[in-house]
Amino acid sequence: MSPETPTLVAYRFDVPETPVETALPDQPWLRSADEVASGLGCETSRGLTPGDASARLERFGPNRLESEPPVPRWRKFLSHLADPLVYLLLAAVVVSLAVWAIEGAEDVPFEALVILVIVIANAILGYVQEARAERAVAALQEMASTSASVLRDGEEMQVPSVEVVPGDVLLLAEGDAVSADARVFDVASLMVAEASLTGESEPVSKSTAPLDEPSSLGDRTNMVFNGTAVTRGRGRAIVTATGMASEMGNIARLLDTTEEARTPLQREVDAIGRALGIAVIIISAVVVGTILLGSEIREPADFVAVLLVGVSLAVAAVPESLPAVLSLVLALGVQRMAHKNAIVKKLSSVETLGSASVVGSDKTGTLTRSEMTLVKVATPSGEVDVTGTGYRPEGEVLAGDEPIPEGPLLEEVGLVLMGGSLANDAVLRRENGEWVIHGDPTEGAFLVAEAKLGLTASREARFRRVGEIPFSSERKLMTTLQADAERDGQVDVVTKGAPDVLLARCTLELVAGEKRALTEERRRQILATVDRLAGQALRTMAVAYRPLPDGASSSDEDAVEQEMIYLGTVGIIDPPRPEARAAVADALEARIRILMITGDHPLTAARIAGDLGISEQEAVVTGSELEEMDDDGLSAVVRSATVFARVAPEHKLRIVRALQAEGNIVAMTGDGVNDAPALKAADIGVAMGLTGTDVTKEASDMVLADDNFATIIAAVREGRGIFANIRKFLRFLLSSNTGEVLTMFLGVVLAGVIGLEQAGGAVAVPLLATQILWINLLTDTGPALAMGVEPPPHDVMLRPPRHLTERVIDKEMWIGIIWVGLVMAVVTLTALDLGLPGGLFEGTGTIDEARTMAFTTLVFAQLFNCFNARSDRSSAFRSLFTNGWLWGAVALSGLLQVAVVQAPWLNQAFGTVPLGPRDWSICIALASLVLWAAELRKLIARRLGTEGEASVWSGDDRRAPGGQSPASMSML
């Protein structure tokens, strides 16, 4: 937006070409915050009312950038007809109708009409599948949408970012994504990364004062902009523009949408389709040429029939529904993940998820409950226990088994808890009868313990915050400046943070109300206490204070946080999640390494890692040790170490890169803004949905709605299951289509052997064009889709992670596809021969009867193949009834085939005749041979014990990488 723009313009989302003039102030960066608020009709202390916000949302439209206009439904439908093979079919229909008209148009042109109906039916099915996939993806995007903190009617609340409106008061904190352009009016060390908008590489420090003159975008230091991210501090700002009226919206108008790159899986499927297309066109040409050379073409209709056979063969052999089925299976699978609290943001991430070989997880809230409870307080005068669990402020503070008596210990404990509650941004509230914490759970633990001691009211009445130095992962400290009403407004610096870091900034300690010098002996004693508490799986936090020196300012962090007075240390427990141990065992059994990467104390990390089964060793690699390692040293460490403690976000990034350099597929969790680089660098970035920042969520590939480690492993399991299902329907479709191609090719080549050339017709082929297309319609829809929604295989977590470079269809799978296709062709041609005079088996039927038997045998052979295709190795009879959808699809397809054969009104359309019980028995018995032949091949493969789909590691190779032991392993 240029400085010359006379008024701000908001755009309705539904009619973006029509600007709606508003009363918003011109160039808000040149005006005071009060002027901007007045022009917007809002109060900075209370924000908008819900009613006013709703009215503005109706007026200005959703806060989102315009997308490309939706493609009309009719165009989507026609896109499913835009295929060269479909064009050939339609051309053949036109030629067939023309010949029919030339010959007198006496009978109904059943063949042309049936082909036309099947082509349209295929297009409808493709359209429906695409629509379902789009709906599933849209639902996922809705679940992954970001939210914004706003002030509405004096209450802080979270609203979807799309509902932010001009005049809203945004509440900004470290890690938040800025959801709209806004004028800043309150800051505390607020810094914003604006590289995505201005190209400025360093975060920009924000202030509240109006600018003196028109400025470029990068120099508007009192504004925050849509699409940027808060990297430090906090602030409040009045929204001045949303959606397409924002600066990001102006840029969006200049950009063309780009199509998302196709995934390796999609590219491989496309390559398979192209290769099949070329092969089948060649085979179709050979079949057509052989028929033309070996048959007497008497009429134009004979030539059209041969042409239809060739085209139909090509269409049937290429599984053109594969892309739609693939997208739908991925979308439905990812939607199932979302219902289990794992929100995968892109379908392409499913491939990577199933291939994860290392999961680097934070501890707090992911492997543990994140119900932080302060249970220990250690002061210079002694140590006390705090009873009670969770956030309900009910419990006692005990010295031994007795309440603390009046005296120095009680006073010191009160100062520690009050100090931790002052250096704090959390809020303890009672909502709907339950006590909840808004903010960091660790900070909330101080508030709950303070309330148990009954100090909350006096603290709130006595102290007023006048400044702060926000927490940062680099400093591991948080400081507030508090004016004390009981000491005539004297300002104190109150700090809490990591004990080792804070103790290094202390020179004194408070003992029984007296300040004493911190000797080296006392420092060792305090650190020994910290280690003892950490060894009990407690998270330790220290509290210190000092009077603010005259002339000092919170802007000078190094000067303020020095020469502190140590008050004491607390121990906070966050017990492991019960489900996390089972999830860790499942991951190790799947040969997935689990690394704990935490900023917590090494002893605490080691204790929790041991309890969860992550590590059998007590050795822990610390952040300070990582600092001293070069890349080679780090590579050696990540091969064996499983627990990393006291790490900073930049250490996470180094660990990710070192693991990837070793050939691992890495999933990494994170919640803070500084975790974003590591999550972006990881193959699968996993953000926390409850405690994660918006920036982290945007950088991630997956969001955990419940912050639970078990959800990651459940998602990996689901991802492996989805990939296994993709292999299943690929195996089914390709083997079935191979059977159709070989049936036609071998039927024409071996016509003399099976008696087909003696059938008496001018053009004798194993199957008619309409029959081939009907088979394709049956098999490419219901059964294939049903395979895509099968439960994960029983052994899916017993297999090693799949390498992304591995082919989806490997050598063994191709052998199985060709074997099944060959058997399918043999049994189909056998049924044809049994119905014809002459050949290998003497029959007495007509060509129509023989074709009907062959047609039926091939359909049921493909239905039997549904069960065979569920695995390359496992028997089809294992877990036979776990997929009700598959049984339903098979039953429906079988009934439709019975109708095509037995219903008189369909006989003429498909060139069939009714079959008797004996013929039906022969067809089904022959078709079942496909299943028995596949079972024989699988049995041989299992006995030989070669590597394949269902392989598990055995013998001496019973340990996962990094020295971790799977809980149990077994041979199938």
574 touches 538 (CB < 8 A): no
What is the DSSP pairing of strand 490-497 with strand 204-205?
unpaired
For 930, the token pair is 């496909």
β partners of residue 25: none
Helix, strand, coil shares of the chain as percentages rounded to 5? Answer: 50, 20, 35
Tally of CB atoms within 10 A around 954: 11
Distance CA 648, CA 651 (A): 5
Cα dihedral 886/892/897/902 (nearest 10): 150
With CA atoms as reference, report the closest residue to 420 among 485, 497, 481. Answer: 497
Please report the sign of the dihedral spanned by the C-alpha atoms of residue 443, residue 499, residue 653, residue 683.
negative
Distance CA 514, CA 522 (A): 15
User: Residue 154: helix, strand or coil by DSSP?
Assistant: coil
Residue ranges with strand state E in 548-600: 564-573, 593-597
841 touches 922 (CB < 8 A): no
Distance CA 309, CA 311 (A): 6
With CA atoms as reference, report the closest residue to 576 among 717, 708, 439, 442. Answer: 708
Which position among 181, 362, 500, 586 bears the catalytic label? 362
Q: Is 270 a catalytic residue?
A: no
Residue with tokens 């991630």: 700
Distance CA 199, CA 186 (A): 25
66 touches 18 (CB < 8 A): no
Burial grade of 13 (CB within 10 A; 0-12, 13-18, 19 or more)? middle
DSSP-derived letter for residue 576 is B
β partners of residue 351: none
Measured CA to CA in angstroms, residue 100 lies from 153, 298, 304, 311 at distances of 77, 15, 10, 19
Distance CA 640, CA 797 (A): 22
Q: Tell me which residues are annotated as active site.
A: 362
